[in-house]
Amino acid sequence: MKYYIISGEASGDLHGSNLIKQLKIQDKNAEIRCWGGDLMEQAGGILVTHYKERAFMGFAEVFTNLSKILGFIKFCKADILEFNPDKLIFIDNSGFNLRIAKWAKAHNFNTIYYISPQVWASRAGRVKAIKRDIDEMYVVLPFVKDFYKKFDYNVNFVGHPLLDAISNRNKVSELEFRKNNNLSNKPIIALLPGSRKQEIQKLLSIMLKMPAKFPDFEFVIAGAPSQDFEFYKPFITQNNVQFVSNKTYDLLSISYAAIVTSGTATLETALFKVPEIVCYKTSWISYQIGKRLINLKFISLVNLIMDKEVVKELIQNDFNEESLEKELVKILDDTNRARLFLDYYDLEQKLGGKGASKKTVELILKNSKTT
């Protein structure tokens, strides 16, 4: 069969690549065209557009780039028509994907969503459009299946693909990783400032107030695959600050603690059993709009899944030098760390085990036979 997959940003590229690998295994005749990144291309998809070209963050940033986004939507529709896929698969990236889904359903394409849009966080009214435009929905968070039940929409919970991504990675020893990246023997505090330039600039400047206050630790910036080293270079001015590019999992596997931008990385950090502080800061106007639309007690996936505060969240004005130092002291304390490790164990149990991509492809192919 022919598959057209649309994802955005680094996490979508990761999950899309694992989905492509399973499609190649379970459907020997699979032809795959995709919007994603390097990982999806390496897995065997024909890459149409890289997510780096569409990395817009926040309401204000989207508004100022609206003409460019509309151009991508127009091009995407034309490309789908030309390829004429049997299955059109969307991965997260709701702002773009839901627009394409509405058009695609009207053109009688079979539509599949893998990793639900965050309608459970804001604008639940979009569920009506999802029920209309999406034939099959595969969710990776347990509470999302329950959310959709309220709207009489039956979806499939397949487990979280991060469990596979972490388990199947190529592991390197701590000694080798430190040697290859010129790291000292000090315990490491990982800094994960996100993947988009706007968020990195806002968050990293505050994160880097900490190295001078904690000289016995080495602070290592996890560079995103979407950004070059030259972008990060001006931030690296202290002796106990280092940089690694596109090696986040290797870094987390040997980290003692982490400061992490809200998003998928918060869950990745928890699955590596690293005590963390979650932070988020955006433009004033984007924050004002967002807080009126989002109806959640928490912003991090860790806390949302556990339905309690497991990790500390520092949001907007609360993300400052004083608060960050105070919370970092807490997660370096052995008593607090022991509690976190127990919660992290419970978190992993809630995620449903390994094999999310495999289960998803099995269900997609099974449903193809019954329709």
Write the pLDDT tens digit of every residue in 192-226. 998 888 889 889 999 999 999 999 999 999 998 87
Both 100 and 245 in a single domain? no
Both 182 and 326 in a single domain? yes
Both 14 and 69 in a single domain? yes
Q: What is the pLDDT of residue 283?
A: 59
Q: What is the pLDDT of residue 66?
A: 63
**Is the pLDDT confidence value at 284 over 70?**
no
pLDDT digits over 155-201, tens only? 999 999 999 889 888 899 999 999 999 999 999 999 999 888 888 98
**Radius of gyration, CA atoms only, the chain:** 21
Per-position b or e across 272-291, b if 16+ CB within 10 A of its CB: bbbbbbbbbbbbeebbeebe
Both 311 and 361 in a single domain? no
User: Are the beta carbons of 277 and 269 closer than 8 angstroms?
Assistant: no
Longest dimension (CA), the chain: 62
pLDDT category of residue 55 using cuts at 50, 70 and 90: low
Both 194 and 148 in a single domain? no
Expressed as residue numbers, the domain containing 50 is 2-161+355-370
Both 267 and 152 in a single domain? no
Q: 175 exposed, middle or buried (CB, 10 Å; 0-12, 13-18, 19+)?
A: exposed
**Is the pLDDT confidence value at 56 over 60?**
no
Both 94 and 199 in a single domain? no
Both 32 and 95 in a single domain? yes
Distance CA 316, CA 329 (A): 20
* Sign of the dihedral defined by the CA atoms of residues 144, 145, 149, 155, in that order: positive
CATH code of 217's domain: 3.40.50.2000
Both 143 and 273 in a single domain? no
Both 264 and 181 in a single domain? yes
Q: What is the pLDDT of residue 122?
A: 73
Amino acid symbol at 204: L
Q: What is the pLDDT of residue 291?
A: 55
Residue 334 contacts by C-beta under 8 Å, 6 or more apart in sequence?
none
**Is the pLDDT confidence value at 253 over 70?**
yes
246, two tokens: 């596109």
**Mean pLDDT computed over 92-100:** 89
Number of domains in the chain: 2
